[in-house]
Copies of this chain bind each other. A is one copy, B any other.
Amino acid sequence: MTAATPFEFEVTHRNGRARLGTLQTPHGKVQTPLFMPVGTQGTVKGLSPQEVKDAGSQIILANTYHLMLRPGEQLVADHGGLQGFSGYQGPFLTDSGGFQVMSLGHLRKIREEGVTFKSHLDGRQIELTPERSVQVQEALGADIIMAFDECPPYPAEREYIQRSLQRTARWLERCLSAKTRPDQALFAIVQGGIHADLRDESLALTLPFDTPGFAIGGLAVGEPKEEMYPAVAYTAARLPEGKPRYLMGVGHPEDLVAGIALGVDMFDCVYPTRTGRFGYALTDNGRINLNASAARTQMAPIDAECDCYACCNFTQAYIAHLLRAEEMLGPRLLSLHNIRYLHRLVERMREAIAAGQLDTWATTWGATYFRGTLPAWFARALDEAKQPLPG
């Protein structure tokens, strides 16, 4: 499972630490960097598969935990996998279920063997192990599957983070042994929280497996950005150049800008659809609250620069009306716009990288987005992105 043809990753441009690349998958070639919308239960909330594709999506993330509980991985397999089930004919990535299971709190128990938990749907006792996670992910049939890892919360004891990253490495080995499908790439996950030395330890335990991609896990779990970005920068800089790097669960606009600058290739987050359902629209000028009374008479679209269906056809006043009237089309249009906004953001960054202008582009974008002054963590990330790689 080293980078053989089916998952060939090619870096085509570099600009500072940022890069452009292409990744071959069984369901098509994708351009990196990229943002993956989240289809938790086999649907990106509020969007049809056609809208997901039209918005510029390249890979959809689906959740192993949710789908194994309902409808069960066998039904998905009976449809020929996630594509046949969900109607989205492009590449998929599934998480391992680990993150959801860990966040069940007192409903779960972690042992070396795996995690025992009670289903949030019916209280049924279920065991998820590295082997079982791979088995479910093979039934779901995504192009990219993830190692079953332990993701400590924030804050957590240093010692716990260390024990946990060591266990994550042992679980990675079990995942790889359990894996049978050659048409799926398994990405390993580097843990270690916000501690450089623990990241080093996790890297040392993980990199030798030479998986076709590596994820940066254990971040965006509650720590401030001032602590998160040094860890992103540190880890991304030590991952192999020739493999895609995936920063898990991250995807506010400012995170995509900082993360891409630091050399991350892949992101996922429920944020664009969730904040859309709550009535918020993402723009270069920050979030617009369509629930606010000012929106009710606003005759402009959300974003005159945006090419999405919502911005091409509707005023803010109409969308605000839909929200007040509790009409499904309101959350739907905002989810659609927000997904498109993130894809357009990444597309603009790809152009800036190709032109060797990323630092200027990101600084200008940040000045608008943050209304003048760049936050220290953001400025530092852009600065670090210009530094030569260690070693």
Contacts and interface: CB of A to CB of B under 8 A. Distances in A.
Contact of A331 (B75, B317, B328): B328
A46 B328 CA distance: 6
A297 B75 contact: yes
Nearest to A41: B325
A314 interface: yes
Given A87-B314, A313-B87, A328-B328, A322 B79 contact: no
Contacts of A332: 48, 328, 332
A1 to B, nearest CB: 30
Contacts of A66: 325
Interface string A325-338: 10111011100000
Interface in A2-26: none
A121 B328 CA distance: 19
Given A78-B299, A299-B79, A71 B321 contact: yes
B322 A43 contact: yes
A283 B235 CA distance: 56
Interface in A44-74: 45-50, 66, 70-71
Contacts of A321: 41-42, 70-71, 75
A66 B296 CA distance: 16
A77 to B, nearest CB: 12
Nearest to A336: B48
Nearest to A89: B313
Nearest to A326: B41
Interface string A73-109: 0010011000001110000000000000000000000
A2 to B, nearest CB: 35
A166 interface: no
Contact of A325 (B47, B70, B79, B85): B70
A318 interface: yes
Contacts of A79: 299, 315, 317-318
Nearest to A328: B46
Interface residues on A, range: 35 or more
A324 interface: yes
A233 to B, nearest CB: 37
B299 A329 contact: no
A370 interface: no
A160 interface: no
A327 B41 contact: yes
Contacts of A86: 318
A324 B45 contact: no
A66 B326 CA distance: 13
A47 B296 CA distance: 22
A101 B78 CA distance: 51
Nearest to A44: B329
Interface in A294-350: 296-297, 299, 309, 313-315, 317-318, 321-322, 324-325, 327-329, 331-333
A255 B41 CA distance: 38
B45 A327 contact: yes
- Residue among A49, A75, A79, A322 having the largest count of chain B Cβ atoms under 10 Å: A75
A313 B306 CA distance: 28
A328 B41 contact: no
Given A75-B321, A78-B317, 6 more contacts: A41-B321, A42-B318, A42-B325, A66-B325, A87-B313, A328-B328
6 contacts: A49-B313, A71-B296, A71-B321, A75-B297, A79-B318, A86-B318
Going nearest first, the 10 A-B pairs with the smallest beta carbon separation are: A87-B313, A41-B325, A71-B321, A43-B329, A43-B327, A87-B314, A46-B328, A85-B318, A41-B327, A328-B328
